[in-house]
């Protein structure tokens, strides 16, 4: 990704976002990290600067259109350009489809889907006008391709991110733009996503009770770390690959699902890797 010189990453204080920021910085890019969590964001920026990297931080709630717009303004004002945009911040709320409250739905859809729409609306016009290449990486999930029980809101949001990414890619081609798109669909990676409630706003206070039974990922040991996912993303940007599936074993399950659609099958619970 070295010819892409400035990267902006949302949800960059933890997990996959932090690993992406570290990868880009190590590859020689200038990076604007953003996150809703002030302390962890400052710590991440300090740590990266301590390693000699050219990075900045900006506290941003991606659920707020005007905050994403302000993030874009800062990126273009300070760096003069944006070459890689990672719409990565995300949260999860478990619950049966009919138990999830409207606050649950709105929180998850705001942070996981509307945020990506805000990123596309606020960054893309200027990235296209730059005529200097670039790449958009939207973090979806395997749950967007293989919806999971107790994860309706999350699966809906992530399926939306995938559809948006596909339309965006086609719109850019039709425009003759040299900006690429990738959609990251990770399997299970050990991060703080299971502690998403730490960032739930008080205005989304009606919380559904947790569903009976263990998490889908209970007892599953993650087989990949965030740094490896970030390397896959950097490779995808370089190679202009659209789909970034962290666990290749999912490809067969996705093909089964597609075949089931054609054959009139019913949804089944996908395996977790
Ligand atoms: N970890 C996994 O297994 C997995 C699998 C598939 C997809 N994902 C996706 O990866 C992305 C990153 O999550 P992660 O696993 O690194 O979890 P994480 O909790 O470690 O990191 C998510 C970051 O997003 C930030 N964030 C939360 N709400 C925000 C808001 N409103 N505005 C700005 N930032 C906000 C958090 O503070 C945190 O730093 C998410 O979109 C998630 O859905 C994760």
28-77: per-residue pLDDT in tens? 999 999 999 999 999 999 999 999 999 999 999 999 999 999 999 999 99
Model confidence pLDDT, tens digit, residues 170-224: 999 999 999 999 999 999 999 999 999 999 999 999 999 999 988 888 888 888 9
* 118 flagged as catalytic: no
Determine the pLDDT at residue 216: 83
> Six-digit token pair at 235?
């490779």
User: Which ligand 1 atom is the nearest neighbour of the CA of 139?
Assistant: 41
Helix/strand/coil percent split, the chain, to 5: 50, 15, 35
- Please report which confidence band the pLDDT of residue 2 belongs to, taking 50, 70 and 90 as the band edges: very low
Q: Is the shortest distance between the CB of 119 and ligand 1 below 6 Å?
A: no
**Can you give the pLDDT at residue 219?**
83
Q: In 10 A of CB 203, how many CB atoms?
A: 9
Element (H, E) at 33: strand 30-35
Distance 235 CA to ligand 1 centre (A): 21
Q: Distance between CA atoms of 149 and 94, rounded to whole angstroms?
A: 9
The percentage of the chain sitting over the pLDDT mark of 90, rounded to a whole number, equals 92
Among 192, 155, 148, 2, which residue's Cα sits nearest to residue 83? 2
- pTM of this structure: 0.97
Per the CB < 8 A criterion, the answer to whether 44 and 18 are in contact is yes
Q: What is the mean pLDDT of the chain?
A: 96
Q: Which ligand 1 atom sits closest to the C-alpha of 63?
A: 31
Q: Is the pLDDT of residue 1 over 80?
A: no
Relative to beta strand 84-87, strand 243-245 is unpaired
Atom of ligand 1 minimally distant from the CA of 154: 43
Q: Which two tokens stand for residue 213?
A: 């039974």
- The one catalytic residue in 53, 118, 154, 250 is 154
């Amino acid at each position: 990704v070295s010819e892409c010189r400035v990267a902006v990453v949302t949800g960059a204080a933890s997990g996959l976002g932090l690993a992406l920021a570290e990868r880009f910085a190590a590859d020689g890019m200038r990076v604007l990290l953003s996150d809703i969590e002030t302390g962890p964001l400052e710590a991440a920026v300090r740590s990266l600067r301590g390693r000699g990297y050219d990075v900045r931080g900006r506290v941003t709630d991606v659920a707020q259109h005007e905050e994403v717009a302000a993030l874009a303004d800062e990126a273009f004002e300070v760096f003069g350009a944006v070459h890689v945009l990672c719409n990565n911040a995300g949260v999860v709320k478990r619950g049966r489809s009919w138990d999830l409250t409207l606050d649950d739905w709105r929180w998850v859809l705001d942070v996981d889907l509307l945020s990506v729409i805000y990123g596309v609306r606020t960054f893309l016009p200027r990235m296209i006008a730059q005529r200097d290449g670039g790449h958009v990486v939207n973090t979806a999930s395997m749950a967007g391709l293989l919806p999971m029980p107790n994860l309706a809101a999350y699966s809906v949001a992530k399926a939306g991110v995938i559809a948006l990414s596909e339309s965006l890619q086609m719109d850019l081609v039709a425009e003759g733009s040299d900006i690429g798109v990738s959609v990251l669909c990770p399997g299970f990676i050990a991060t703080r996503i299971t502690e998403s409630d730490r960032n739930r706003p008080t205005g989304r206070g009606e919380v559904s009770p947790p569903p009976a039974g263990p998490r889908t990922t209970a007892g599953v040991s993650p087989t990949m770390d965030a740094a490896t996912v970030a390397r896959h993303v950097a490779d995808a940007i370089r190679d202009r690959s659209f789909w970034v599936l962290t666990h290749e074993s999912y490809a067969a399950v996705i093909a089964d699902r597609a075949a089931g659609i054609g054959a009139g099958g019913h949804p089944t619970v996908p395996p977790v890797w």
